[in-house]
């Protein structure tokens, strides 16, 4: 069964997740570690738990979620997975960072592309890729039916939704993605977002003001 550990990184308070199972193989989702201290925190967790990084995955390409991509790729030699629609965001990473007063080297490109309906495997576990464009053109979520959780990136937050005023954003598309691709999952599914605390799909369906007013 997949276990999840959350790290809160960089000035945007972004959630980076390490997922691992009984084989000790793990995947790093949205590596946002920016400072050397944050990089050391991630490295210490993986090392002390004897985890074996197999993949790094981006739910989307906005700067706060990709600040640690080069670090994890260089440190563990993992392949980087993401949706091809967000390649322009990776290519504009330096300018994105400058907009927020940050500095970053060129961010590595995706090694492999993932799209809606794909399955990602590590250890004895699988994650299903759900396409959720709207916050960015290539936004995706990662769903584990067995462990009953969803990594929602910046598509869905507790009592909120992702911004649509950033590059690649489209409000109507985001609402459609959530209604058609996420709220059709079981209400008991735990939602781990790109920022903030966890929730459940049922709670969001009944309480999220961006969804209940539809």
Contact 175, 134 (CB under 8 A): yes
| C-alpha R_g of the chain | 16
- Domain hosting 154: range is 3-212
Predicted local confidence at residue 167, as pLDDT: 80
CATH number for the domain harbouring residue 25: 3.60.15.10
pLDDT values of the chain reduced to their tens digit, one per residue, 214 residues: 999 999 999 999 999 999 999 999 999 999 999 999 999 999 999 999 999 999 999 999 999 999 999 999 999 999 999 999 999 999 999 988 998 899 888 789 999 999 999 999 999 999 999 999 999 999 999 999 999 999 999 999 999 999 999 888 999 999 999 999 999 999 999 999 999 999 999 999 999 999 986 4
Q: What is the pLDDT of residue 105?
A: 81
pTM: 0.96
Q: Which of 136, 66, 130 has its CA nearest to residue 95?
A: 66
| Cα(104)–Cα(179) distance, integer angstroms | 35
Question: What DSSP string describes 15-50?
Answer: EEEEEE-TT-EEEEES----SHHHHHHHHHHHHHTT
Task: Work out how many domains the chain is built from and give that number.
Answer: 1
Quote the pLDDT of residue 136.
Answer: 97
């Amino acid at each position: 069964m997949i276990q999840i550990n959350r790290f809160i990184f960089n000035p945007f308070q972004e959630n980076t997740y390490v997922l691992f199972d009984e084989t000790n193989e793990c995947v790093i989702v949205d590596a946002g570690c920016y400072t050397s201290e944050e990089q050391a925190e991630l490295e210490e967790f993986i090392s002390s738990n004897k985890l074996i990084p197999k993949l790094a995955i981006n739910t989307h390409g906005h700067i706060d979620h990709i600040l640690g991509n080069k670090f994890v790729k260089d440190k563990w030699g993992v392949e980087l997975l993401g949706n091809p629609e967000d390649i322009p965001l990776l290519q504009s990473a330096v300018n994105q960072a400058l907009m927020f007063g940050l500095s970053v080297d060129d961010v590595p490109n995706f090694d492999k592309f993932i799209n809606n309906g794909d399955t990602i495997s590590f250890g004895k576990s699988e994650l299903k890729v759900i396409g959720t464009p709207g916050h960015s053109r290539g936004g995706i979520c990662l769903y584990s039916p067995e462990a009953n959780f969803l990594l929602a990136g910046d598509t869905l937050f507790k009592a909120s939704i992702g911004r649509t005023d950033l590059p690649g954003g489209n409000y109507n598309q985001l609402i459609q993605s959530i209604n058609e691709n996420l709220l059709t999952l079981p209400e008991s599914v735990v939602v781990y977002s790109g920022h903030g605390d966890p929730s459940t799909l049922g709670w969001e369906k009944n309480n999220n003001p961006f969804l209940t007013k539809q």
